[in-house]
Amino acid sequence: MNAMNPNEARLLARKRELTQRLGKIETDLETTRHPDSEERATERENDEVLEGLGLQGQIELTAIDAALKRIADGTYGTCVRCGGEIGRERLEAVPHAALCRNCMG
């Protein structure tokens, strides 16, 4: 059995957290609307915030899945653009990073 990449556990934990959060956002968005028009306006504003958070969560989940695939492929820590090494500090800060400092721009 291969040793787990140190960031793999962090990526998996974050994926679980995001999946739970996105499920709650979806449930909140499906909640029955308040009959009062002022309350409905506030709910619509809240829905826009929730949708934004949901979109950001989906983007991060996609990046996490890609990072987990790179771990499985043995290419984790290699920049997907230039093929150079992604620094350990960068991967510790952003475990799903796909680009090295030079390529991230």
| pLDDT tens profile 29-86 | 777 666 666 676 677 777 788 888 889 999 999 999 999 999 999 999 999 999 999 9
Closest by Cα among 69, 65, 104, 72 to 86: 104
At 91 the three-state DSSP class reads helix
Instruction: Mention every residue, 6+ apart, whose C-beta is less than 8 A from residue 95.
Output: 7, 10, 11, 14, 64, 67
Identify whether the C-beta of residue 85 lies closer than 8 Å to the C-beta of residue 77: yes
Q: What is the pTM of this model?
A: 0.77
Q: Where are the domains of the chain?
A: 6-76
